[in-house]
Amino acid sequence: MKKNLWFIFMIVLALVSAACSPKENASVTEAEADGGKGSTSDVQKIIVGTGTQFPNVCFLDENGKLTGYDVELVREIDKKLPEYEFEFKTMEFSNLLLSLETNKIDFIAHQMEVNEERQEKFLFNKEPYNVFPLHVAVNEKNNDVQSIDDLKGKKAVVSATSNSAVFLEKYNKENNAGIEIVYSGQGADDTINQIRTGRADATITTPFAVNFLNEQADAQQKVVGEPLLNSKVYFLLRKDETTLQSQIDEALVKLKEEGVVSELSKKWLGADYTVEF
């Protein structure tokens, strides 16, 4: 009788073991299918702050999908870092710095230029991912403004806290330029309408943004004058995120070596803006 009970017990044990093994195999397959990221407990979620109003950089396409140069570059970096899972959180550009400061996001991908105020509060990664050329842009029929020198007493519309705003505020102060700075209210459309209707005389932007807006929104703008500056841009993190900073840099260097960054720039920005012009 004892022998029979022992025999039955061994059969049940074998069946239970067999029933468990497919689940174990399935969990491995799921981890592999998840882009090699591993199980949820092994992966740290990183919230990436960006916008939806920057043409070709971070915007919503005709299908409502978030895309653009900065967005797709972050996705490529994410592929290189299996220990992280990057998730985008979109908002108005003016809210990005506060969201980073209050831990609502972990880093910013929005063509962030280095300036003293940002350096005091935050941490930039060390490897720039492109060069941001700023120009004066005006209505295509405006022949009075040929350079920034012609903006004295005129209105220039820019997004608050943007690279363009920071540059123009500093330029005004250092050169007593007399440019009236106004800040756009509702993203790119507001800037387009102000320049198109003559409520503003100019904006400070990039050639690739002007080209995109002319094609997609009939912005009727043109770039004038020489580049105001070629500013290297970076991702912006909190001061304590040195580990994430170094890992982003390592991934970025590899992507540059592989030619991925250059190709993304050509695709989204129309030229290789990873080098200075």
Q: Which of 180, 150, 153, 186 is nearest to 168 (CA)?
A: 180
In this predicted model, which residue has the larger pLDDT, 261 or 275?
A: 261
168 within 8 A of 156, measured Cβ to Cβ: yes
Write down all domains in the chain, each with its CATH number in brackets: 44-131+232-269 (3.40.190.10), 132-231 (3.40.190.10)
The residues, any chain, with a CB within 8 Å of residue 116's CB and separated by 6 or more, are none
The CB density around residue 220, as the number of other CB atoms within 10 Å, is 15
In this predicted model, which residue has the larger pLDDT, 31 or 256?
A: 256
d(CA 34, CA 24): 16
Partners of 136 in the β-ladder: 204, 224
Give tens-digit pLDDT for 18-29: 333 333 333 222
d(CA 272, CA 277): 9
d(CA 51, CA 118): 18
Residue 12, classed as helix, strand or coil, is: helix
- Cβ neighbourhood burial of 159 (10 Å; 0-12, 13-18, 19+): buried
Residue 10, classed as helix, strand or coil, is: helix
Which H/E stretch holds residue 228?
A: strand 221-238
pLDDT of residue 22: 35
In the predicted model, is pLDDT for residue 150 greater than 80? yes
pLDDT of residue 53: 87
**Helix residue ranges per DSSP H, the chain:** 2-33, 69-80, 96-101, 116-121, 163-175, 187-197, 207-217, 242-257, 260-269
d(CA 76, CA 70): 10
Mean pLDDT calculated for residue range 225-244: 94
pLDDT of residue 187: 60
What long-range pairs does 10-14 form, CB within 8 A, spacing at least 24?
none
In whole numbers, what is the pLDDT of the chain averaged over residues? 85
| DSSP, residue by residue, 118-148 | HHHHEEE-SS--EEEEEEEEEETT--S-SSG
pLDDT of residue 267: 95
In the predicted model, is pLDDT for residue 17 greater than 60? no
pLDDT of residue 111: 92
Residue 271, classed as helix, strand or coil, is: coil
pLDDT of residue 120: 94
To the nearest 10 degrees (0 to 180), the angle between helices 260-269 and 69-80 is 160
Running DSSP on this structure, what letter comes out for residue 8?
H
